[in-house]
């Protein structure tokens, strides 16, 4: 005869403690607490329970006649206390055998940011966050341990509260995040199978816990955003001097005058703002928990009209019904608007500083006339004038929902069945309108309007069986089995119209367009993909000393060819907690030392649906003015054998904790080989069809990651903690299409990283009298760019040929190492935080300086980046002589001017905070349990950056290679560059956190 005792185990912050062990003293009977710290155990009447959890002092509690217990654990100083989410479960950090990096919500919020990616920058080793845009609301690119795939996606899987996330990461409000865990190696990601091939980001949002009184929190921040540094363009004097040096454009355009000096950027930028408000309430009853939150984020860019707004709402409810059933749901909803992406900077930067924004009569100029170009004038005042006549708005609504039910199988202690149902929907509506004559030199250019809609439906059904058992106090088993199916359907449509009757219609009634209304078939999209999976995982640990985890997963994908679309792969990892061995007892300085090793395979199916089928290109055509027809031709070939791309990873790690927790850290090594890479292969023109997708090629990523955290100082009122992470990733292409060593059309070369530059090597400038210029550069001039000649010489040392395409070289872009650091200094109630990141070596591509940007043409046609250029009197300059030998509109080899040393060290944020005392003052009288205020400056300064030293600009990238440039140069669009996107900003923030 037993009695059932239920309860919840809480940590010292009264948060549920999952994975805590509940043992009936003196028996082998025990259970482990669930996700929220809850447990249920059948014990003999009068039993005593032993509650233990690593990092906390064990407690013994006599049950007495109680049937529900609320146990608050106190930390056991000198022990680790972290719990990590590992996918389909949680685990004590100590027992983790795979590579998992974690950061808590509080640490994440040390960088006030609108989205998770921004907050994550530089925080975790092996997690590279790169900026792809600087516009409000933009998210950044996440790469976990480098780039594996050539054309397939390299984005990690985001899992929100256990459900693979089908939306945009900007839809997740950082304020809601309780914890964020990143699974890096295959042994950890294998449970997510093919979806986890590029790593997994597990995001857990805040929840209530049992027996918690309703707790209301508010957090908010607000502050201005200012331009970090304007783009370094020439002023009137410099510009005139360059025209003179070039001997070109000597007669000014109609709007130009030698006595004018206009700083167009100064007339353009505004002070932006960012602000965030978030209110949440959480609580719990005896058998239920709930939480609810509302958030509003608002960001205005320094580029006028660029703006991002997000309203978010989330709720989570968990209810136990009887002793065996638990149900719940959580929902995250948001509505966002993004505005102003139509406003580009190229015109602002390229306008002549000799042109005035005003007509002689004082009215604003619509257009300025330069010698060869007429440019629509963009200033903040003009943008104000044409408010409502020029807009681009995207409104998106997204709802991400998970419903679950969990049944404890009666009769088998520790066996549970859980069903998860994920239902997500995201729709976005984009509208564009450009009024008559707007952004055109011609006043009568017809207005255009466009509307695009997209819908994404995603459902996921997971069936999970878990079995937790502890035998003989020392053998802890966790077994998980999964069967899941998932389907995603995307549908989008778009229409455009020309010649709207009136500005007031904007894009709201394209049916009223007076000219053509277009529904371009290329803009109408539909795709659907499905995935079926089986997975099993066994985790076993013995005496907290030896741990092993084994996973087997099988995935079937709709995207791959029938017969090749299933793949099964294993993963296994083991850990040895050396410090628990008896022979370590003498090493008292070592609190924890653990060795981990893991091996696993993961797969990647991340190609677009229907890639196996081939496709037709379309070419609309007119036969005379009134007969229209659509042309079709084969532009991609089918591949009936398209199968999985897969990676094998080895991971070795050491975790340690020494000197009584003064120094903790981990060191990891990994080696990933990716095979059968899914590749869109460019075929020679003579094949008759441009490309096809195939399993071709092999890549390797090897790396080292080190994370250290130290408590450097701890005195009465003082404490100082600091952390640093450093990581290195070495990427290499091991094989390409059928044994090829080089694919010059895609810039892929065996033995080199996936991302390289294939270009001439700039070795300075040709000087007057340098030998062999006539041979190497026919038609060239002194002061032109000198690139390395790789050809042969005759006996007299004379080059055999002119410099040509054979002299292009493979230039490595990879940094030597990257990382981040953080420091927390506390004095009494004050705290001061610094978060920074750094990058050593590698190549930063600036399209501002390269020929793609058309801002360094060195001829005076349009304004130019302010650079030190060659003249007969200034032969030591870095940049070529104006007006010299050109290739296209730019100096010959102008692309090489865009390569800079990418090194930098950057302070992301400095925050000074103050926590008001809780005890015995006005706060408790007002019911306030926590009150903190802080001020922060983001992006205050950059050090050790050659690019920053030369240009004053932020050395972080802001665009893909095909964005924010005048023309698409030879760079593959996957590379990240600095282009003419909204300038980087320096933000000043004031914030409050308040809890009742």
For residue 634, the minimal CB distance to another protein (Å) is: 5
Query: Whole-angstrom Cα distance, residue 897 to residue 849?
Result: 6
CB closer to another protein, 500 vs 572:
500
The pair of structure tokens assigned to 143 is: 């790469």
Neighbours of 321 (CB within 10 A): 11
CB closer to another protein, 557 vs 664:
557
CB closer to another protein, 514 vs 874:
514
For residue 877, the minimal CB distance to another protein (Å) is: 23
Nearest of 184, 216, 15 to residue 105 by alpha carbon: 15
For residue 713, the minimal CB distance to another protein (Å) is: 58
Query: Whole-angstrom Cα distance, residue 495 to residue 507?
Result: 10
CB closer to another protein, 597 vs 613:
613
For residue 458, the minimal CB distance to another protein (Å) is: 12
**Is 908 in contact with 835 (CB distance < 8 Å)?**
yes
Neighbours of 806 (CB within 10 A): 9
Query: Whole-angstrom Cα distance, residue 331 to residue 291?
Result: 10
> CA-CA distances (angstroms) from residue 86 to 92, 97, 165, 179, 220?
10, 10, 16, 12, 30
Query: Whole-angstrom Cα distance, residue 115 to residue 171?
Result: 8
CB closer to another protein, 475 vs 619:
619
For residue 236, the minimal CB distance to another protein (Å) is: 20
CB closer to another protein, 744 vs 768:
744
Specify which residues 977 forms β-bridges with: 959
Query: Whole-angstrom Cα distance, residue 588 to residue 595?
Result: 18
CB closer to another protein, 610 vs 817:
610
Helix (H), strand (E), coil (C) string for 916-947: CCCCCCHHHHCCCCEEEEEEEEECCCEECCHH
CB closer to another protein, 595 vs 735:
735
CB closer to another protein, 489 vs 823:
489
Query: Whole-angstrom Cα distance, residue 504 to residue 118?
Result: 37
Nearest of 541, 418, 417, 415 to residue 468 by alpha carbon: 415
- Write the CB contacts of 563 (distance below 8 Å, at least 6 apart in sequence): none
CA 788-793-796 angle, 5° bins: 125
Place of tokens 């509302």: 294
**Is 979 in contact with 853 (CB distance < 8 Å)?**
yes
CB closer to another protein, 558 vs 929:
558
For residue 452, the minimal CB distance to another protein (Å) is: 14
For residue 527, the minimal CB distance to another protein (Å) is: 7
For residue 608, the minimal CB distance to another protein (Å) is: 10
For residue 727, the minimal CB distance to another protein (Å) is: 34
CB closer to another protein, 511 vs 684:
684
For residue 744, the minimal CB distance to another protein (Å) is: 4
- Write the CB contacts of 529 (distance below 8 Å, at least 6 apart in sequence): 487, 488, 557, 558, 559, 609
- Write the CB contacts of 873 (distance below 8 Å, at least 6 apart in sequence): none
For residue 753, the minimal CB distance to another protein (Å) is: 19
What value does the CA radius of gyration of the chain take, rounded to a whole number of Å? Answer: 31
For residue 592, the minimal CB distance to another protein (Å) is: 45
For residue 524, the minimal CB distance to another protein (Å) is: 5
CB closer to another protein, 141 vs 635:
635
Tell how strand 942-943 and strand 959-960 pair up. unpaired
For residue 488, the minimal CB distance to another protein (Å) is: 10
Helix (H), strand (E), coil (C) string for 232-293: CECCHHHHHHHHHHHCCCCCCCCCECCCCCCCCCCCCCCCEEEEEEEEEEEEECCCEEEEEE
CB closer to another protein, 679 vs 942:
679
CB closer to another protein, 504 vs 618:
618
For residue 976, the minimal CB distance to another protein (Å) is: 23
CB closer to another protein, 568 vs 829:
568
For residue 148, the minimal CB distance to another protein (Å) is: 23
Query: Whole-angstrom Cα distance, residue 723 to residue 617?
Result: 53
Residue burial 61-90, b: 16+ Cβ < 10 Å; e: rest: bebeeeeebbbebeeeeebbbebbbbbbbb
CB closer to another protein, 399 vs 740:
740
**Is 894 in contact with 855 (CB distance < 8 Å)?**
no
For residue 486, the minimal CB distance to another protein (Å) is: 8
Per-position DSSP letters for 537-565, written without gaps between them:
EEEEEETTTEEEEEEEEEEEETTSPTTS-
Query: Whole-angstrom Cα distance, residue 773 to residue 162?
Result: 65
CB closer to another protein, 792 vs 920:
792
**Is 218 in contact with 278 (CB distance < 8 Å)?**
yes
For residue 555, the minimal CB distance to another protein (Å) is: 10
Give first-to-last CA distance, the chain, whole Å. 45
**Is 396 in contact with 429 (CB distance < 8 Å)?**
yes
With residues binned 3-state (H G I as helix, E B as strand, rest as coil), the percentages for the chain, rounded to 5, are 10, 50, 40
CB closer to another protein, 75 vs 688:
688
């Amino acid at each position: 005869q037993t009695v059932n005792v239920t309860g919840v185990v809480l940590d010292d912050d009264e948060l549920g403690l999952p994975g805590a062990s509940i043992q009936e003293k003196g028996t082998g009977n025990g259970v482990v607490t669930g996700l929220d710290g809850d447990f249920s155990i059948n014990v003999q009447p009068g039993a005593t329970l032993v509650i233990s959890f690593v990092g906390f002092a064990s407690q013994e509690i006599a049950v007495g006649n109680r049937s529900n217990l609320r146990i608050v654990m106190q930390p056991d100083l000198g022990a680790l206390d972290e719990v990590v989410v590992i996918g389909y479960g949680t685990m004590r950090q100590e027992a983790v055998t795979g590579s998992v990096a974690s950061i808590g919500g509080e640490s994440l919020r040390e960088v006030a940011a609108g989205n998770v990616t921004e907050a994550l920058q530089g925080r975790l080793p092996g997690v590279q966050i790169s900026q792809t845009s600087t516009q409000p609301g933009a998210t950044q690119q996440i790469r976990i341990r480098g780039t594996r795939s050539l054309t397939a996606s390299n984005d990690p899987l985001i899992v929100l509260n256990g459900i693979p996330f089908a939306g945009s990461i900007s839809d997740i409000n950082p304020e809601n995040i309780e914890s964020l865990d990143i699974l890096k190696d295959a042994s950890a990601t294998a449970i997510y199978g093919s979806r986890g091939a590029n790593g997994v980001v597990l995001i857990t949002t805040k929840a209530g816990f049992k027996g918690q009184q309703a707790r209301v929190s508010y957090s908010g921040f607000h502050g201005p955003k200012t331009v970090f540094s304007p783009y370094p363009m020439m002023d009137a004097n410099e510009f005139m001097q360059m025209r003179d040096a070039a001997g070109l454009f000597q007669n000014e355009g109609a709007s130009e005058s030698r006595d004018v000096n206009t700083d167009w950027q100064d007339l353009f930028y505004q002070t932006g703002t960012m602000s965030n408000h978030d209110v949440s309430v959480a609580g719990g009853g005896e058998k239920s928990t709930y939480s609810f939150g509302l958030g509003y984020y608002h960001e205005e860019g320094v580029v006028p009209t660029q703006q991002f707004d997000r309203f978010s709402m989330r709720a989570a409810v968990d209810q136990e019904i009887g002793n065996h059933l638990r149900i719940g749901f959580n929902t995250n909803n948001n509505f966002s608007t993004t505005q102003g992406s139509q406003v580009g900077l190229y015109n602002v930067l390229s306008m002549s500083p000799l042109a005035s924004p005003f007509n002689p009569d004082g009215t604003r100029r619509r257009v300025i006339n330069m010698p060869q170009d007429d440019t629509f004038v963009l200033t903040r005042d003009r943008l104000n004038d044409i408010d409502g006549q020029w807009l681009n708005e995207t409104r998106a609504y997204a709802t991400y929902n998970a419903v679950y039910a969990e049944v404890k199988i009666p009769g088998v202690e520790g066996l549970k069945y859980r069903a998860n149902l994920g239902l997500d929907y995201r729709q976005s509506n984009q509208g564009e309108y450009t009024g008559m004559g707007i952004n055109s030199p011609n006043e009568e250019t017809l207005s255009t309007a466009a509307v695009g809609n997209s819908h994404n439906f995603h459902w996921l059904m997971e069936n999970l069986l878990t079995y937790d058992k502890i035998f003989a106090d020392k053998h802890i088993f966790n077994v998980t089995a999964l069967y899941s199916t998932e389907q995603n359907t995307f549908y989008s449509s778009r229409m455009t119209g020309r010649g709207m009757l009136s500005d007031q219609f904007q894009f709201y009634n394209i049916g009223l367009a007076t000219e053509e209304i277009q529904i371009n078939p290329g803009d109408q999209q539909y795709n659907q993909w499905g995935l079926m999976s089986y997975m099993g995982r066994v985790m076993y640990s013995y005496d907290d000393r030896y741990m092993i985890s084994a996973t087997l997963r099988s995935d079937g994908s709709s995207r791959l060819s029938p017969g090749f679309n299933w793949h099964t792969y294993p993963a296994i990892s083991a850990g040895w907690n050396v410090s628990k061995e008896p022979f370590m007892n003498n090493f008292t300085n070592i609190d924890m030392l653990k060795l981990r090793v893991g091996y696993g395979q993961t797969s990647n199916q991340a190609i677009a649906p229907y890639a196996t089928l081939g496709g037709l290109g379309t070419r609309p055509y007119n036969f005379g003015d009134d007969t229209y027809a659509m042309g079709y031709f084969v532009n991609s070939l089918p591949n009936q054998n398209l199968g999985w791309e897969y990676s094998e990873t080895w991971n070795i790690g050491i975790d340690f904790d020494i000197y009584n927790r003064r120094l903790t850290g981990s060191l990891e090594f990994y080696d990933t080989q990716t095979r059968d890479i899914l590749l869109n292969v460019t075929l020679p023109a003579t094949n008759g069809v441009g490309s096809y997708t195939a399993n071709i090629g092999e890549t390797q990523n090897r790396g080292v990651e080190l994370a250290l955290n130290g408590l450097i100082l701890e005195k009465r009122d003082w404490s100082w903690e600091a952390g640093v992470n450093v990581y290195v990733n070495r990427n290499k292409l091991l094989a390409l299409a059928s044994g090829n060593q080089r694919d010059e059309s895609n810039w892929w070369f065996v033995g080199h990283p996936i991302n390289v530059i294939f270009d001439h090597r700039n070795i300075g400038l040709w000087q007057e009298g340098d030998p062999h210029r006539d041979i190497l550069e026919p038609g060239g001039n002194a002061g032109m760019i000198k690139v390395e000649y790789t050809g042969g010489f005759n006996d007299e040392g004379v080059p055999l040929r002119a410099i040509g395409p054979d002299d292009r070289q493979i230039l490595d872009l990879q940094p030597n190492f990257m990382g981040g650091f953080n420091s927390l200094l506390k004095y009494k109630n004050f705290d001061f935080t610094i978060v920074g990141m750094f990058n050593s070596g590698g190549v930063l591509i600036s399209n501002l300086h390269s020929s793609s940007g058309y801002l360094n043409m060195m001829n005076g046609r349009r304004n130019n980046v302010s650079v030190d250029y060659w003249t007969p009197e200034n032969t030591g300059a870095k940049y070529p002589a104006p007006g010299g030998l050109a290739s296209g509109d730019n100096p010959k080899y102008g692309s090489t001017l865009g390569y800079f040393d990418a090194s930098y060290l950057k302070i992301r944020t400095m925050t000074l905070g103050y926590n008001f005392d809780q005890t015995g003052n006005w706060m408790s009288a007002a019911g306030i349990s926590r009150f903190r205020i802080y001020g922060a400056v983001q992006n205050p300064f950059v050090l050790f950056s050659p690019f920053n030293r030369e240009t004053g600009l932020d050395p972080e990238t802001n665009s893909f290679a095909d964005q924010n440039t005048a023309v698409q140069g030879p760079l593959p669009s996957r590379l990240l560059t600095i282009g003419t996107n909204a300038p980087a900003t320096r933000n000043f923030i004031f914030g409050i956190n308040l809890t009742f």
